[in-house]
Amino acid sequence: QVQLVQSGGGLVQPGGSLRLSCAASGSIFSIYAMGWFRQAPGKQREWVAGITSAGGTNYADSVKGRFTVSRDNAKNTVYLQMNSLKPEDTAVYYCNTARGASVYWGQGTQVTVSS
């Protein structure tokens, strides 16, 4: 069983920055990949970024160059640093991981980009 607890998020003006955190418990964190997804109102949940156990990263085209995913294995935590935020980044953000056939999600964090 894995529990993912998110923190961060909130309201920010366009061009601003936020950092999301996702702390994992219940399993060996360092050997598993982690991901970030988001879901805007009326839209399907979409993949945003991922980080492998070795620290390799991938990003959706819509956030490439603006968002950075990282991990601190000593703290069992993955981060999503979001810079140059745009109104279209407004969504509920979720962290995610998988253990075999089981997929685990954080509770979700609202990010609102508005002036």
Burial of 58 (0-12, 13-18, 19+ CB in 10 A): middle
Cα–Cα distance measured from residue 32 to residue 52, given in angstroms and rounded to the nearest whole number: 7
Q: What is the mean pLDDT of each run of 10 residues along the chain (115 residues)?
A: 94 98 85 94 97 96 98 94 98 94 95 97
pLDDT for the residue numbered 99: 86
Question: CA triplet 63, 22, 16: central angle to 5 degrees?
Answer: 40
Antiparallel, parallel or unpaired: β 10-12 and 109-113: parallel
CA dihedral 24, 25, 28, 30 (to 10 degrees): 20
pLDDT, residue 49, reads 98
Which pLDDT does position 100 carry in this prediction? Answer: 87
Q: Quote the pLDDT of residue 27.
A: 67
**Sequence-distant (≥ 6) Cβ neighbours of residue 88 within 8 angstroms:** 40, 62, 113
